[in-house]
């Protein structure tokens, strides 16, 4: 089944090089994509933990409980609830306050559809916006505030 012209060897070498390039490309893409998720993640709270936005002092100093999660300052939080944008005190945010934020985080209910989340994100028109889901404590606080 081999030809007499020797073209098969060159074809197989080209195929091997293409496969090696593809494997290196996939490994590079995976390694580049995995680092940002840990840095941009917002720290989640356990059921027993009180509702806090700032990290404990031990984490600030790089102590025993230090994590890779970004510490979220209250002035960076935008809560989307009931078609409105709220601050950490559940008061309506002004457009000027949203525009002044350095690294805003849009927190939405986990019950929202993807289309609703994207529509809320588009209303803010911020390219540096991080989107996360509200935890149970925030959802309960919003429900109590609405009463």
Q: Are residues 76 and 142 in the same domain?
A: yes
Q: Are residues 75 and 134 in the same domain?
A: yes
Mean pLDDT of the chain: 75
Which DSSP string corresponds to the chain? ---SSSHHHHHHHHHHHHHHHHHHHHHHHHHHHHHHHHHHPBPP--TTS---SSPPHHHHTT-TT--SSBPPPGGGEEEEETTEEE-TTSPBPPHHHHHT-SS-EEEE-TTS-HHHHHHHHHHHT-TT-EEEE--HHHHHHHHHHH-
| pLDDT single digits (tens) 7-65 | 688 899 999 999 999 999 998 888 887 544 444 444 444 444 455 555 445 444 554 44
Q: Are residues 11 and 80 in the same domain?
A: no
- Domain-located, residue 24: yes
Q: What pLDDT is stored for residue 20 in this prediction? A: 95
- Domain-located, residue 114: yes
pTM of the model: 0.50
Q: What's the total number of domains in the chain?
A: 2
Q: Are residues 71 and 136 in the same domain?
A: yes
Q: Are residues 67 and 131 in the same domain?
A: yes
- Structural domain boundaries, residue 90: 57-146
């Amino acid at each position: 089944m081999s030809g007499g012209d020797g073209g098969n060897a060159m074809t197989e070498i080209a195929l091997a090089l293409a496969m090696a390039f593809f494997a290196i490309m996939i490994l590079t893409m995976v390694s580049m994509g995995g680092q940002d998720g840990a840095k941009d993640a917002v720290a989640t709270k356990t059921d027993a933990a009180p509702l806090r936005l700032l990290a404990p002092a031990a984490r600030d100093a790089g102590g025993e409980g230090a994590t890779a999660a970004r510490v979220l300052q209250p002035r960076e939080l935008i809560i989307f609830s009931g078609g409105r944008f709220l601050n950490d005190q559940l008061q309506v945010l002004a457009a000027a306050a949203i525009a002044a934020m350095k690294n805003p985080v849009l927190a939405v209910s986990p019950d929202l559809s993807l289309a609703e989340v994207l529509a809320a994100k588009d209303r803010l028109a911020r390219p540096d916006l991080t989107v996360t889901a509200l935890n149970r404590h925030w959802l309960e606080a919003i429900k109590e505030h609405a009463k």
